């Protein structure tokens, strides 16, 4: 993201899914060709994501523990 970027875009919507037709799980929504550009879809709802900082370096042990937690769903 960058400053002054549109937040209400298909890529930030819960219904966005690149694996389905027209990349939207909401069947009633109008077709939006540019998924990264702001739009006024009435079915838009922000997706909830877990934020993870990219610049944090984990030790080898911490990285292994994190991978195990991710693998076993802890």
pLDDT in tens, 15-65: 999 999 899 999 999 999 999 999 999 999 999 988 777 766 778 888 888
- Whether residue 60 lies inside any domain: the answer is no
- Whether residue 44 lies inside any domain: the answer is yes
Closest CA to 16 of 34, 6, 62: 34
Q: Is 60 in a helix, a strand, or coil?
A: helix
pTM score: 0.62
Containing structural domain, residue 16: 1-48
- Whether residue 56 lies inside any domain: the answer is no
- Whether residue 63 lies inside any domain: the answer is no
Q: How many domains does the structure of the chain reveal?
A: 1
Q: Taking a C-beta distance cutoff of 8 angstroms, is the pair 10, 24 a contact? A: yes
């Amino acid at each position: 993201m960058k400053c002054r970027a549109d937040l209400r875009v298909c890529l930030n919507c819960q219904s966005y899914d690149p694996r389905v037709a027209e990349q939207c799980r909401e069947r009633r929504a109008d077709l939006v060709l540019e998924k990264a550009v702001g739009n006024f879809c009435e079915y838009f709802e922000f997706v909830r994501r877990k934020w993870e900082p990219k610049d944090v370096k984990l030790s080898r042990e911490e990285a292994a523990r994190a991978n195990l937690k991710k693998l076993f769903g802890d």
